[in-house]
Amino acid sequence: MNPRKALITGGTGFIGSALCRRLVTDGWDVHLVVRNESALSQLDGILDRVTLGVHDGSTEGIQAILRKAKPTTVFHLASLFLVEHKPADIEALIKSNIVFGTQLVEAMAANGVYELVNTGTSWQHFESHEYDPVSLYAATKQAFESILTFYVKVTPLRVITLKLFDTYGPNDPRNKLFSLLRRAAKTQVPLAMSPGEQLVDLVYLDDVIEAYLEAARRLSDPEVQQEAYAVSSGCLIRLKELVQIYGRVTGIPVPVEWGSRPYRFREVMIPWHKGLPLPGWLPRTNIEEGIRRMEGICR
Ligand SMILES: NC(=O)c1ccc[n+]([C@@H]2O[C@H](COP(=O)([O-])OP(=O)(O)OC[C@H]3O[C@@H](n4cnc5c(N)ncnc54)[C@H](OP(=O)(O)O)[C@@H]3O)[C@@H](O)[C@H]2O)c1
């Protein structure tokens, strides 16, 4: 039997590179859309087992990549994430999160490729509202979902959007919470943080990857048209408690100056909890186990 063929956008990123690794291991024929300037370091060790298509930014360029790859499933993870935007960010944000995705689905439709796993964010649902974007980044995710509805209506495109919460795991190049905790634990220089009363919903990387695979399986059902699911751990932890858990699991307490920073504008105090769970998927890694695996700590 021919291997299944995947085309991945955002494959040089934290989650996308882990998805590439998993698909390669599972025997998929993996094609990636990258840019000239993309750093490929997250793909170390599998570069010779994937096919790269370099996108020049044009619609014709992505058409050519799709025509060549002819995947069965497209996993769209590429995105520019910004907590808060500045006026100078607008073009890049719209280009990465709306223009690029639209070019991709246009090229999919033109090449008879109809199965798409898209990536959204829990930030589309501030205070668990039906739609209330935490940031302009979240608004662009919503706008792209609306564009997808158009393609679902007028072409045979079928889409599952996975709305992710905070994802953590090994090899995370982003300067996010655990990188900061790790650094503070190592240097013992106190970390300036908000009062820390917000709840967080953290999903371990491997569980997120399983969700992508489950969504791809689900797309083989022709009844699926356009669906969206929350990829939640189902377990909310107060940030203050999380820092204690991290210190306990790693054996190194993290020095934090609680309250030395204000909460952010539209800080998420309670993550979205009204999303539909993805059928057939459950998170398997609890926070202690996840931290151990992320930090390479044996029991
Ligand atoms: N990580 C989380 O906790 C989290 C939470 C909620 C939602 N998400 C969503 O999950 C997805 C993956 O997140 P991540 O953390 O793995 O992202 P990441 O590490 O920041 O990687 C972003 C990826 O998007 C690519 N990209 C950005 N703009 C592009 C463009 N215009 N054309 C082509 N590629 C472009 C980047 O490619 P280059 O190498 O060329 O820059 C990179 O591969 C994103 O859609 C994100 O919004 C993530």
| Domain harbouring 28, CATH code | 3.40.50.720
Does one domain contain both 225 and 265? no
What does the alpha-carbon distance between residue 28 and residue 8 come to, in Å, rounded to a whole number? 12
Tell the residue nearest (CA) to atom 26 of ligand 1: 78
Mutate-to-test residue for ligand 1 from 21, 79, 135, 200, highest number of ligand atoms within 8 A of CB: 79
Q: How confident is the model at residue 3 (pLDDT cuts 50, 70, 90)?
A: confident
CATH number, domain at 262? 3.90.25.10
Q: Same structural domain for residues 114 and 177?
A: no
Residue 75 and residue 12: Cα distance in Å, rounded? 13
**One domain, residues 219 and 113:** yes
User: Is residue 47 assigned to a domain?
Assistant: yes
Query: Does some domain include residue 190?
Result: yes
Q: Are residues 47 and 155 in the same domain?
A: yes
Q: Is 42 found in the same domain as 162?
A: yes
Residue 277 lies in a domain: no
Residue range 25-67, pLDDT digits in tens: 999 999 999 999 999 999 999 999 999 999 999 999 999 999 9
> Do the beta carbons of residue 245 and residue 253 sit within 8 Å?
no
| Ligand 1 pocket residues where CB is under 6 Å | 9-10, 12-16, 34-35, 38-39, 77-81, 95-96, 100, 119, 121, 164, 166-167, 174
Residue 62: name the closest of 107, 124, 101, 20 by CA: 107
- CA dist 207 and 212 (Å) reads 9
Residues 6+ apart with CB under 8 A from 190: 184, 255, 256, 257
pLDDT, mean over the chain: 97
Same domain, 155 and 256: no
Section 137-166 average pLDDT: 98
Domain count, the chain: 2
Asked whether residue 150 falls in the same domain as residue 239, the answer is no
The best mutation among 65, 74, 77, 272 to test binding of ligand 1, ranked by most ligand atoms within 8 Å of the C-beta, falls on 77
Facing residues of 167 across strands? 203
Would 278 be classed as within a structural domain?
Answer: no
pLDDT in tens, 105-123: 999 999 999 999 999 999 9
CA torsion angle 180 183 188 189 (round to 10)? -60
What tokens appear for 50 in the block? 């994937």
CB-CB contact of 33 with 51 (8 Å): no
For ligand 1, atom 32, the nearest C-alpha belongs to 96
Q: What is the pLDDT of residue 1?
A: 62
User: Do 152 and 56 share a structural domain?
Assistant: yes
| Per-residue CA distances from 64 to 33, 53, 109, 120, 268 (Å) | 11, 9, 13, 26, 41
Q: Are residues 114 and 176 in the same domain?
A: no
Q: Is 250 among the domain residues?
A: yes
* Model confidence, pTM: 0.98
CA distances (Å), 154 to each of 36, 109, 215, 263, in order? Answer: 32, 10, 22, 44
Q: What is the span of the domain harbouring residue 107?
A: 5-167+202-231
48 shares its domain with 67: yes
Q: Tell whether 280 is covered by a domain.
A: no
DSSP string, 97-153: IIIHHHHHHHHHHHTT--EEEEEEEGGGBGGG-SSB-SSHHHHHHHHHHHHHHHHHH
Judge if 128 and 20 occupy the same domain.
yes
- 276 lies in some domain: no
DSSP class of residue 281?
A: -
**Alpha carbon of 77 to ligand 1 centroid (Å):** 6
Is residue 13 pLDDT above 70, yes or no?
A: yes
Cα-Cα end-to-end distance for the chain: 40
- What is the length of the chain? 299
Q: What is the Å distance from ligand 1's center to 14 Cα?
A: 7
Rounded to the nearest angstrom, the distance between the alpha carbon of 119 and the centre of ligand 1 is 9
- How far apart are the C-alpha atoms of 185 and 173, rounded to whole Å? 18
- Compute the average pLDDT of residues 281-299: 96
Which uninterrupted H or E stretch holds 288?
Answer: helix 287-295
Q: Which two tokens stand for residue 188?
A: 């013992």
User: What ligand 1 atom has the least distance to the C-alpha of 40?
Assistant: 39
Give pLDDT tens digits for 219-273: 999 999 999 999 999 999 999 999 999 999 999 999 999 999 999 999 999 999 9
Q: Do 54 and 74 sit in the same domain of this protein?
A: yes
Residue 67 placed within a domain: yes
CA pair distance 137, 177, nearest whole angstrom:
19
* The pLDDT of residue 298 is above 90: no
